Structure 1
């Protein structure tokens, strides 16, 4: 009897479980499109021929229909409800869920749970309601990479955007505003996080103004794109951060009020028109961790400061005109004759002339120099800044620095000069018949090569012989840094002028006749040394020397003169290392290059190197910390998309950390550490 009761209870429990499973399965609604009209409310479009209930969960995928398709709500005041919606298109297909303009229900879509949009999914809100929120969602809206939400109505969106999830995999999920009508439309950005943010104007006939206000920060993890016809105006005091590119094909008015706000961009800037119309002093900042491109199809107008703060440098891909101020904080700006950096008559450039790595690497043009004023050109080449300043000059000038022997222009000297620099010269072009004085900089004795001021001259050539342009004033001191000012130089608009440091006497200012330049570059876990020795045939061999105090040096390697590069592992301990070349010349003379300094700063966290560079399953990181801390290591692809996170507790000192990477597809990646809001330098590796 007991056995029979137990069997009956078991059978009853099994039936209950089966019914429960059937009920759960029935709640997973799928689309088969059998009704043929794309309407959500047509029962035949659902696999069970029943319209979803408010308690149902919906999965829109390609398991039944293999091609792309659209699901839309009906016209009129008809809303729908469900508990969850997941849109999961198959490979290279798209699935769209549309609230059409003909639907006026509020809410038109009522979701008691969450909505998940995966790659290829599109949720389009074109509601025709006069006011309110067409989409009501209790949980979160996930717009994953490759998916999009399109706001195509002039009613509100703020309550929906508060539900926008910002987790892993949403960096390239797109929120697009393409709002109809002609009135200004306010975007919710204060204390918001978007993936890609796109502003369009096609729904309004080709012209639409979007505005934003607020005091809390905005983070755009992907690209910010302002398309043609769209104007985006900010009266915003919070930080506006774009992790990838800023693409302005319309107009971006970054300050309409009294705010001195910052727009920070870590990717490229492709610009139509960026302007401001307020009373503040807004700043557009390029502060990426890898090289950034700047291309200006329109202009950066009015009182906007362009700030460059990128140790990896900025590359101009089109000419750019600075009407207000360029502030160079870190890194160089690379230009060419066709991608010229131009400072207008009202513009200025701020760069610390003592920072050797902050300069314009290529030609720099100044428009409208005014009599009685001066202008400093922070130009350089390679890794060396050597500025030139014009004084008492008027008109337009183009200046560039060339790291090559001035004798390559001409080896002829008139009677006023004995020799010119074997290391460098400046190229100056005046765009009208004008005159002015030029001040040339020099550095230490092994760079500028200045040993005595009284015989130092500014040398001038137009491609023929070199002649003295005088020396009306000096600054600094021989053997260190300083400058020499020419007498008045007369230009005509037809020629290019060359200027160099010159010497009136044979036994002073070698400038230098024998040169030794040491280059030091940090790559991943190593220090790469290269050098330039002139004349190479006069040298016997060279020595790489190292010091911990910059005073006492020891030789770490002796190399033959034909060798071109030397590599050592990057020091793991904090502090400075000093390096120089010792050149042994054939005539028995010894000379040194300028000292190059490598500094491993006492930062809270340093990611020194990874091993192996080409890895399959495991990746080893070398980490140094000056305090115990939680560190999040982030793996990104080369487009900056976040792929994975690893969380570790790191104690004080050096550590070797092993990360699993077997989950990654084959390709190139980068990794960096994040702790207390501070980033380490990113390192690259290859997953085989």
Structure 2
């Protein structure tokens, strides 16, 4: 009898202290209520810790609670599939118990690991269908699907915020057309809103006065409207993803709430508002963010507040207001920022502007908030127009005088134009004439604002459009800042830059480097030359830099300004086989540092280098200066601005430098590109304008 008594005592002890109970599926019916499906052939009870994994049953499988008014209470549940498997625990629509499942344990009472899903499709007519006394932990890769018409507050309120749950998914896919979400003061992982179960449009709404956090993505599926009535912020810590035919209504009431996104926007739907409140969509990440908006942004302010900047991956149209706080918005010709008629912009500054082309539609006076790098250089248009007018503006930080297709031909009373910047303004639609206002920043190197003019390139020369209504900006000694407006309206298409009636010495725009070149003087040496607009102060220092094998420029020579000449020449006798790259560092009398463009010399490998095409503007003949380290014959190819080959001939080169005269009198006017190609495939190019 004693051995039998010991066995009974042991069994009683195990049942009293509730060992872990694991799914083994032996009944073969997939039902929670079948005892044979559990180790020990007992249905889990209120003190049991339930483990659903692949330790006994391999592969993917589904467990379902039984139909009818039958509920179950356990201590804890952990669902932990092996990698590559999926396990689903289902509360079916045929189960009407309230609650269908109660979990009463301490700590992380309900845990969904990666690839685990709890789908709550309860058909209960009232009450709570899932009760979790303590924490509901959805680890990254796990998912809870709320597929019932019953409420969600008692479930959402128990969500864990522990590390590793940031992207745990909570999906609402309710069978009806509306569901109120518990948002105020709540913290989700990833929040997914779907309309699959209803097979029609579904509106999910929420309100409250405390901040809601979505630590992963907010994903709004097709046919879904997500409508906020929050009087508090909604913070999306990762991406906003919208499917087509979805709506994100940021405010349906009177509140001026903030929707803050720290990740990217990828939207095929509509972002809008319906209430009288004024919501703000703020992009406030800590790394560069992207906006891919194939839908619509309506009736709401978008705010840029990210020092790392934002980048458009599709065109973005602002229909209401764009507010800059911090960080640049990067655009390009394919991914434009577009302001609709009546749209406005504010807050642009030296650390917050559009870096790239921007388009404005309509008849409004408008300041394009453009610049590049660290330079804010807005361009403004004003004057009568039409609501269908379209203008595109872009700021270029490069020398217009050496830009192909522009040049430095001027008209009186202009003394000279800028050698550091210009603006492109294109009227895409309409023919309205506008007044143009250009900015003189600290990097325009202007010393006298009152002598500035607006200059417009008319296709052959820079025309004086006058200067008036000067607006003084902050001092940046020894330079001035501000803006200048054209004296009258002008055809708002072409290149624009600031000009001055004064000499370089009085108004430099800046200390001007006209040319910087490097040429093979002999098979052993390169000659480096540069020309200034005029002699500079003797305190100016020139440093010749050369790129090393890691493409880092290092100083190889220091040349002091002579104060009486504008032409300088030096040589480099340390040529390396291959490409030798040089640049000039200029430190002016005010310690302002500028750099030239890079000039290159190819040495060895039978290289050729087209060093000079002179003059830049030609009528009858272009003179080509070519350097090579060996005597050879090359092909000379001439292309028009559309890339069509218009002339081809051979040219014989001597070792060292060769001058070639290229007749162009028979060519049509326009921009042409010259290429020299030797038998080894080495190519050297240059450009000129046929007048």
- Same-fold call, TM cutoff 0.5: yes
1:381 corresponding residue in structure 2? 372
2:376, 2:441 within 8 Å by CA — same for their partners in 1?
no
2:189 corresponding residue in structure 1? 195
Rounded to whole Å, the distance in 2 between the matches of 1:48 and 1:235 is 51
**Structure 1 position 156 matched with structure 2 position 156:** no
2:471 corresponding residue in structure 1? 475
Between structure 1 and structure 2, the one with the greater Rg is 2
1:204 corresponding residue in structure 2? 198
1:261, 1:281 within 8 Å by CA — same for their partners in 2?
yes
* Per-residue Cα deviation, 1:203-257 (whole angstroms, up to 9, x for no partner): 1113100110101110111111111111011111011001101112210101111
**Structure 1 position 70 matched with structure 2 position 62:** yes
1:305 corresponding residue in structure 2? 301
RMSD, matched Cα: 3.0
Secondary structure of 1:160's aligned partner: helix
Secondary structure of 1:44's aligned partner: helix
1:33, 1:44 within 8 Å by CA — same for their partners in 2?
yes
2:219 corresponding residue in structure 1? 225
The farther-off stretch of 229-238 and 483-492 is 483-492
Rounded to whole Å, the distance in 2 between the matches of 1:154 and 1:199 is 14
Secondary structure of 2:36's aligned partner: helix
Change (3 A) 1:432 1:300: same
The counterpart of 1:316, out of the listed 302, 312, 316, is 312
Q: How far does residue 490 in structure 1 lie from its aligned partner after superposition?
A: 3.2
Q: How far does residue 28 in structure 1 lie from its aligned partner after superposition?
A: 1.0
2:546, 2:553 within 8 Å by CA — same for their partners in 1?
no
Secondary structure of 2:294's aligned partner: strand
1:35, 1:42 within 8 Å by CA — same for their partners in 2?
yes
Rounded to whole Å, the distance in 1 between the matches of 2:562 and 2:145 is 74
* Per-residue Cα deviation, 1:634-669 (whole angstroms, up to 9, x for no partner): xxxxxxxxxxxxxxxxxxxxxxxxxxxxxxxxxxxx
Secondary structure of 2:479's aligned partner: coil
The counterpart of 2:272, out of the listed 256, 272, 275, is 275
1:285 corresponding residue in structure 2? 282
2:398, 2:422 within 8 Å by CA — same for their partners in 1?
yes
2:436, 2:490 within 8 Å by CA — same for their partners in 1?
no
Rounded to whole Å, the distance in 1 between the matches of 2:333 and 2:252 is 35
1:423, 1:515 within 8 Å by CA — same for their partners in 2?
no
Secondary structure of 2:362's aligned partner: strand
Rounded to whole Å, the distance in 1 between the matches of 2:418 and 2:591 is 16
* Per-residue Cα deviation, 1:18-56 (whole angstroms, up to 9, x for no partner): 768855896311111111111111122123222222221
1:329, 1:351 within 8 Å by CA — same for their partners in 2?
yes
1:81, 1:111 within 8 Å by CA — same for their partners in 2?
yes
1:577 corresponding residue in structure 2? none
Rounded to whole Å, the distance in 2 between the matches of 1:390 and 1:350 is 16
Rounded to whole Å, the distance in 2 between the matches of 1:515 and 1:392 is 37
* Per-residue Cα deviation, 1:60-116 (whole angstroms, up to 9, x for no partner): 111112201111101111112211101111111111110011111111112121111
Change (3 A) 1:91 1:415: same
1:530 corresponding residue in structure 2? none
2:190, 2:217 within 8 Å by CA — same for their partners in 1?
yes
- The total of aligned residue pairs comes to 526
1:538, 1:586 within 8 Å by CA — same for their partners in 2?
no
1:486 corresponding residue in structure 2? 486
Secondary structure of 1:202's aligned partner: coil
2:229, 2:251 within 8 Å by CA — same for their partners in 1?
yes
Rounded to whole Å, the distance in 1 between the matches of 2:238 and 2:71 is 38
Change (3 A) 1:238 1:583: farther
* Per-residue Cα deviation, 1:528-549 (whole angstroms, up to 9, x for no partner): xxxxxxx98469xxxxxxxxxx
> TM-score scaled to structure 1, two decimals?
0.72
Secondary structure of 1:211's aligned partner: strand
Stretches of structure 2 that go unaligned for 5 or more consecutive residues are: 515-527, 533-539, 565-586, 595-691
Change (3 A) 1:595 1:158: farther
Q: How far does residue 438 in structure 1 lie from its aligned partner after superposition?
A: 0.6
Q: How far does residue 586 in structure 1 lie from its aligned partner after superposition?
A: 5.9
Q: How far does residue 16 in structure 1 lie from its aligned partner after superposition?
A: 11
Rounded to whole Å, the distance in 1 between the matches of 2:543 and 2:276 is 61
Rounded to whole Å, the distance in 2 between the matches of 1:235 and 1:192 is 15
Rounded to whole Å, the distance in 1 between the matches of 2:486 and 2:542 is 42
